[in-house]
Structure 1
Amino acid sequence: MGGLPEFWLRHPPGWQARVLWPLGALYGLIARLRRHAYHSGWLRRGDVRVPVVVVGNIFVGGTGKTPMVAWVVRRLQASGWQPGIVSRGYGGRATSWPQTVHPDSDPALVGDEPLLLARQTGCPVAVGPDRVAAARRVVAAGCDVIVSDDGLQHYRLPRAVELVICDGARKLGNGLCLPAGPLREAPGRLATVDLVLSNGYAPELTPYWFDLVPGAMRPVAAQAVGAPRPAPGETVNAVAGIGHPERFFATLEAMGYRVIRHSFPDHHAYRPDDLAFAGQWPVVMTEKDAVKCAGFAGENSWYLPVEARPDAQTASQLDACLARLNRCQSR
């Protein structure tokens, strides 16, 4: 569970990708025409009245985008901006949109990543399929800049800065568009954005990169007491319902844990039975999963927070992009 088709990641492309290549080429062409229609004015963008920073990707799987959104928001806050965050709210089942996300919101209604960002950053967050409407919601709350978690292909949303996050391990997969490969847009799209960042060092893809640095494990249930924090060398039941579960498992192994892998689909709606594993090993999950499991996780359940940490050159380039916000016109 939780993985991508193996042939999407095979390079050079295998027979499955070659069979699906015409559909992938058509998908890429439609994506390019949509972008051109908005860029040329054939289709009109919404007006949100403040600059927008889009942190997105062209790869359908998880790339570490959400931790970088939190980094950008904190950088803007440190520079005197009052940022707000908008997101699609994948997995949210609210009956009306947009939704304002509060630290105590129900992730089943608003989605896991927006709730995580609301708790981490403390800034206004709004979600909905129409990101323009969500952006207007946070502007009405007093925000003077918007950071869009994903939305690179939501061209109705204007943008002053486009940041694209790539996975340093999987890179661009086989380099083909859906359904022949994992890309939402053709690789040439990367040449049009302000900055391409890699989660993990990948100089053949981009010179700019960041690591996801783990912090200390914390109990999933806020009131949990008694169980000792798992120590390196112990066996743990590792739970990940994210776009790239293997990255989380590899992080735990690098920290010295013996890992029993339990992967779930991205944005999985957890039930208590999902965490009922044989044996007495601690359960360790991602922070994104923890926001959905806090109500029923056992006292020996933990989450591992991670923080995006760019190298000095990358941080300087990001700062240069954000410094242009006062001068940029949304495009």
Structure 2
Amino acid sequence: MALQRAWYRPRLTWWLVLLLPLQALFVLLSNLRRWSYKIGLKRAYRAPVPVIVVGNISVGGTGKTPVTQALIAWLKAQGWQPAIISRGYGGQGPFPLLLDSTIDPAINARHSGDEPWLLAQRCQVPVAVGSNREQSIKLLLQQHPQINLIVSDDGLQHYALARDLELAVIDAERGLGNGWRLPMGPLREPQHRLQQVDLVVQNGTGERSWGWQFSLQAGRWHQVASQQPMPLPPPPYVAVAGIGHPQRFFATLKQLRIEPAACYPFADHYAYQASDFASMPADHTVLMTEKDAAKCRSFAPENWYYLPVQAHFEQDFWLQLQQLLAPLAAQQQVAISTEANG
């Protein structure tokens, strides 16, 4: 946490300079890896259907999951039959793991990771989870041959997977931090990588404009245990957040004029246990994000609530995306016609 705070300070913290050798090693290895795919030393898997990658060039929360949700909803409305692949960070497996309507009820967010589980619940499309994206895609198409487009949740730096469109998400409030690569700064890739993607979208407003802006709109409060929408009880409250940028959730509560007695930030993808809440007052209502709730349902009492959010884009963004997808849709029609004609 202290390291991440240092990344986003206006000036470079002196002790980060001690990490310069590690940053140089990270840059060297990441460049060698990318060029090995670019010049053909390593093979990138090309899926038989179009692939859209939604990712970022920095670590930490940028709003990528709500963007993926909004993208899937729009694709379904346009007549596509999409599915999602995800790394499943923090999940216990076994991988590759398929989340769909036939999933064993015993499988939960601890097996798949919090983000894939949330996407499967919210998007109502098949989700395949695992570090090997090729295996995940083949599993999806084997079990659901009607799928005609894959959205990769994260994976902008996973060059083993060929992609047709790239969408990079930026947190406009924090930007790219101090601009240095890991571990001196938050960047996985240099800033000029943004010029190579098809679309850049920014979460909220900041000192500069990175691309298409979207806002996160809060939904209705839901009870964690039942997952049903319910009115929020009166205070007192405590708030927890185990996401990439916990302060964003706490700021949202403030915008909603909710003042928790205490706020507890946890690490991104934190694997909650009931004991993590033992020191919190039992008579205080616990407020959390939807991603947190996915890992707390098995032991949540009735006074725990989560707040769903949705990414909202202006119509011009969707028109731009439609133009980018038009050639892919045409290719799909040609492939279908060719297959039908033998």
Q: What's the TM-score once normalised by structure 2's chain length?
A: 0.88
> Structure 1, residues 217-275: CA drift from partner, whole Å, max 9, x if none?
010011889x85235xx442111111110000100110010022011111111111223
Give runs of aligned pairs for residues 243-262 of structure 1, distance below 5 A: 243-259=244-260, 260-262=262-264
The one-letter amino acid of 2:197's match is V
Q: Which residue of 2 aligns with 1:188?
A: 192
2:287 equivalent in structure 1: 284
Deviation at 1:207, TM superposition (A): 3.3
The correspondence for 1:176, drawn from 180, 187, 191, is: 180
Q: Residue 324 and residue 256 in structure 1: after superposition, are their counterparts in 2 closer, same or farther (change >3 A)?
A: farther
Q: Is the 8 A contact 1:270 1:292 kept in 2?
A: yes
Give the partner amino acid of 2:160. R
Kept in 2, the 8 Å contact 1:55–1:151? The answer is yes
Of 2-11 and 234-243, more deviation after overlay is shown by 2-11
C-alpha displacement of 1:279: 5.3
Question: Corresponding residue for 2:112?
Answer: 110
Contact 2:100–2:125 (CA under 8 A) maintained in structure 1: no
Q: Distance in 2 between matches of 1:78 and 1:51?
A: 17
- Is 1:306 the counterpart of 2:305? The answer is no
User: Does the C-alpha gap of structure 1 residues 75 and 19 become closer, same or farther in structure 2, counting only changes over 3 Å?
Assistant: same
| Worse-superposed segment, 286-295 or 133-142 | 133-142
Partner of 2:325: 322
Counterpart in the other structure of 2:232: 229
Deviations 1:129-149 (A, max 9, x none): 111111111122221110000
Q: Which residue of 2 aligns with 1:165?
A: 169
Over 3 Å counting, the alpha-carbon distance change for 1:175 and 1:284 in structure 2 is same
* CA displacement, residues 162-215 of structure 1 (integer Å, 9 cap, x when unaligned): 000011111101111111111111111111111111111236241311111100
Match of 2:96 in 1: 98
Residues 160 and 328 of structure 1 are in contact (CA less than 8 Å); yes or no, is this contact kept in structure 2? no
Q: Secondary structure at the match of 2:298?
A: coil
Judge conservation of contact 1:4–1:61 (CA < 8 Å) in 2: no
Distance 1:38 1:202 in 2: 35
Shift of 1:328: 7.5
Q: How does 1:1-331 map to 2 (within 5 A)?
A: 4-94=3-93, 96-102=94-100, 104=105, 105-140=107-142, 141-142=144-145, 143-202=147-206, 204-222=208-226, 229-230=232-233, 234-259=235-260, 260-276=262-278, 277-278=280-281, 280-326=283-329
The farther-off stretch of 130-139 and 10-19 is: 10-19
Which stretch of structure 1 is more off in the superposition, 41-50 or 84-93?
A: 41-50
CA contact (8 A) 1:51 1:328 kept: no
Which secondary structure does the structure 2 equivalent of 1:258 belong to?
coil
Tell me, yes or no, if the aligned pair for 2:52 and 2:165 is still in contact at 8 Å. yes
Asked if the contact 2:241–2:288 (Cα under 8 Å) also holds between the matched residues in 1, the reply is: yes
Separation in 2 of the partners of 1:172 and 1:21?
18
Percent identity of the aligned residues? 45
Distance 2:78 2:132 in 1: 28
In structure 2, C-alpha distance between the alignment counterparts of 1:14 and 1:215, rounded to whole Å: 38
Higher relative CO (Cα under 8 Å, sequence separation at least 6) belongs to 1
CA separation in 2, counterparts of 1:245 and 1:139?
Answer: 36
RMSD of aligned residue pairs (Cα, Å): 2.2
Q: Distance in 1 between matches of 2:3 and 2:150?
A: 31
**Residue 135 of structure 2: SS of its match in structure 1?**
helix
CA distance in 2 between counterparts of 1:221 and 1:266 reads 22
Deviation at 1:74, TM superposition (A): 1.1
**Could you tell me how far apart the structure 2 residues matched to 1:221 and 1:279 are?**
16
Query: In 1, distance between residues paired with 2:196 and 2:286?
Result: 43
Matched residue count: 324
Secondary structure of the residue that 1:126 maps to in structure 2? strand
Deviations 1:43-96 (A, max 9, x none): 1111321110000011110111011111111111111111110001111112x3
CA distance in 2, matches of 1:223, 1:195: 34
Moved over 6 A (4+): none
- Give unpaired runs (5+ residues) of structure 2: 333-342
Task: State the alpha-carbon separation in 2 of the partners of residues 192 and 117 from structure 1.
Answer: 27
Give the conservation status (yes or no) of the 8 Å contact 2:50–2:328.
yes
Amino acid at match of 1:257: I
Q: Supply the AA of the counterpart residue of 2:140.
A: V
Q: 1:224 to 1:271 in 2, by over 3 A?
A: farther
Amino acid at match of 2:36: A
Q: Quick one: structure 1 residues 173 and 240, their matched pair in 2 at CA, closer, same or farther if it must change by over 3 Å? A: same
Q: Which amino acid aligns with 1:33?
A: L
Mapped partners of 2:319, 2:205: distance in 1? 16
